[in-house]
Structure 1
Amino acid sequence: MMTGTPLTASPTLGAAEPILDLLPDAPARRAGQALNDLNASLHLWRLCWKLGWLDLKLRYRGSILGPFWLTASTGVMVGSMGVIYATLFKMNVRDYLPFLTLSLVIWGFIGGLVGDATTCFTQAAGMIRSMRMPFIVHAIRVVLRNLLVLAHNVVVILAVFAFFRVWPGINAVESLPALLLWLVDGIAACLLLGALGARYRDIGPVVASVMQIIFFITPIIWKPDLITHGRQYLMFNPFYDLIEIVRRPLLGGTPTVMLWSAALGFSLLFCTAASLLFMRVRARLAYWV
């Protein structure tokens, strides 16, 4: 009669005993895998850049102006909105139009990045299923794609600044660390919203609706100076903090220590949440897409 003894490989054959490990990964192991994913993605930065550039070319394939349609539409929007809102807010056009131009271009980058972040992994479903590639490559790809769009729209900012002879001077250098913080937050947004969007396809429309509300409650088309009472509560809006640390130096000002502290604090919380979620669901993304 056969017994219940498990069948093992004979040591004389030199074959290792097969082991099927069905236990969940330990947190330390998941963290190590996520760090390996990040390290491999950073080494593939050329691939990320090529994929982002290819996405932009395919989006405007067959178009005459290509991505410069975004530049033209941004210029028309700034020109039409600038005079109207300057009249409504009783502000000088020379002071208001550079602020509005810079704000709309910045918001276009943030809004486009957040919108693309919700489909970060689902749009790359074919690549995820067909080849072994670090997941963070797709997040960096989305960030670089929107960075290229931002570079096209910088032409509008330069044109408006040159027309009104508004130059930030040496203060513009202070916006470079803020832009670096944006890139880190952008990757975190892709990991967080991309994972949630892969699991729940309603995340995209929900995020789009929320971003519309945030656009109106954030100083984009109106200046923070218009709030005479309770202006300090703007600091609790993370979008205001992140926008202001870039916008204020480009307008010739200097961000306060409180503003930078709030921006770094919100970014730290956001990146921590994105890292924890990504470490937890990384092994399931290929099945969700």
Structure 2
Amino acid sequence: MQDNQKLRDRLLSDVARMTTDGSANTPPSKSKTFSMAFRDLVRGWNQHELWLQLGWQDIKQRYRRSTLGPLWITIATGVMALALGLLYSMLFQISVREFLPHVTVGFIVWGFISGCIKDGADIFIENEGLIKQLPSALSVHVYRLVWRQLLFLAHNMVIWLLLVVVFQIPLTWNTLLAVPALALLVVNSVWVTMLFGIIATRFRDVAPLLEAMVQLLFYVTPIVWTTQTLREQGGEVAERARIAELNPLYHYLEIVRGPLIGVDVPLYHWGIVGAVTVVGLLVALAVMRQWRFRVPYWV
């Protein structure tokens, strides 16, 4: 009850501040600018106390009366990665020491990516009450979701620490590249959540479509298989390995997974991720500029 009262007081203070600066009463005609779309992202970020507390509250409510709490996600991820890692290492005849970290870290990163995409499609629909009653920055709900997924990711990183100990994965200066890679992943999760959230709020068929697409992308992304295995077979199979390069999620996965398992990441992966990030942000801002103020009417 005390936590709910604090959240209510925080929301009311934010609304009062928006009313004072006039941002809550901006006419739709003046909202259709890139500056207003960017301002929404900034205002949402400045309300960090709000979305940090809301995201943490989501975790507490989801695992209330559970003994292990969010560790259930860690256990499920670890068991799935172990089972598939052992199975496919035998099928592909790859050493478990080499293949299991590849699969496990891939699962951890994929959990964050897929969570942002699938949950992002319903983010505004699920927060209908807050959006209609308390007109805070739209990006607050996006940051809340990304923060929640980051908490899940942090729990799953315990599995990576176990891999480091068991398989003696070397921790070098190259491992620190995972930090900017994760930062890029977070930035992309913000625009992806905002983009799909607005579109799926207007067109309700988008959410199940995204869920099916994410499932498909899981199989065409090198998580339980490697591009190196395909290249070693030579011939047409090796040529088909290049198709994986067309999947942008492959590059996001590589820049995070490589440093964590002690594998050097070619520079072109970073270039592709950087280019997609810039284009994605511009597309998301354009969608926000055009339809951001309509979301309260669509939910």
Asked if these proteins are the same fold (TM beyond 0.5), I'd say yes
Q: Does 1:95 align with 2:98?
A: yes
Q: Does 1:249 align with 2:249?
A: no
Deviation string 1:188-225 (CA, Å, 9 cap, x unpaired) is 01111100111111111100100111100110001120
Aligned to 2:281: 271
Deviation string 1:27-78 (CA, Å, 9 cap, x unpaired) is 8x52222122122111111211111111111111121111110011112112
More helix by percentage = 2
Q: How many Å apart are 1:24 and its aligned residue?
A: 6.3
Contact 1:218–1:237 at 8 Å: present in 2 too?
Answer: yes
Contact 1:113–1:143 at 8 Å: present in 2 too?
Answer: yes
Aligned to 2:120: 117
Q: Does 1:192 align with 2:195?
A: yes
The separation in 2 between residues aligned to 1:192 and 1:98, in whole angstroms, is 32
The separation in 1 between residues aligned to 2:81 and 2:42, in whole angstroms, is 41
Letter in 2 for 1:256: P
Which of these residues, 152, 161, 175, is aligned with residue 178 of structure 2? Answer: 175
Q: Does 1:86 align with 2:96?
A: no
Aligned to 1:160: 163
Between the aligned residues of both structures, percent identity stands at 34
Q: How many Å apart are 1:232 and its aligned residue?
A: 3.6
Unaligned runs of 5+ in 1: 1-22
Root-mean-square deviation over aligned CA pairs? 1.5
Moved more, 176-185 or 140-149: 176-185
Q: Does 1:32 align with 2:32?
A: no
Contact 2:38–2:285 at 8 Å: present in 1 too?
Answer: no
Question: Match of 1:121, SS?
Answer: helix
The separation in 1 between residues aligned to 2:112 and 2:79, in whole angstroms, is 17
Question: Match of 1:91, SS?
Answer: coil
Unaligned runs of 5+ in 2: 1-26, 232-237
The separation in 2 between residues aligned to 1:24 and 1:284, in whole angstroms, is 9
The separation in 1 between residues aligned to 2:177 and 2:167, in whole angstroms, is 22
Deviation string 1:153-190 (CA, Å, 9 cap, x unpaired) is 11111112211111342211112111111111111011
Q: Does 1:55 align with 2:65?
A: no
The separation in 2 between residues aligned to 1:270 and 1:236, in whole angstroms, is 16
Contact 1:235–1:262 at 8 Å: present in 2 too?
Answer: no
The separation in 2 between residues aligned to 1:187 and 1:78, in whole angstroms, is 27
Aligned residues: 266
Contact 2:220–2:244 at 8 Å: present in 1 too?
Answer: no
Contact 2:116–2:149 at 8 Å: present in 1 too?
Answer: yes
Q: How many Å apart are 1:95 and its aligned residue?
A: 0.7
Which of these residues, 262, 266, 270, is aligned with residue 260 of structure 1? Answer: 270
Moved more, 155-164 or 238-247: 155-164
| TM-score (normalised: structure 2) | 0.85
Letter in 2 for 1:118: A
Q: How many Å apart are 1:233 and its aligned residue?
A: 3.6
Letter in 1 for 2:40: D
**Which structure: larger Rg?**
1
Aligned to 1:283: 293
Contact 2:178–2:260 at 8 Å: present in 1 too?
Answer: yes
The separation in 2 between residues aligned to 1:88 and 1:233, in whole angstroms, is 22
Question: Match of 1:206, SS?
Answer: helix
| TM-score (normalised: structure 1) | 0.88
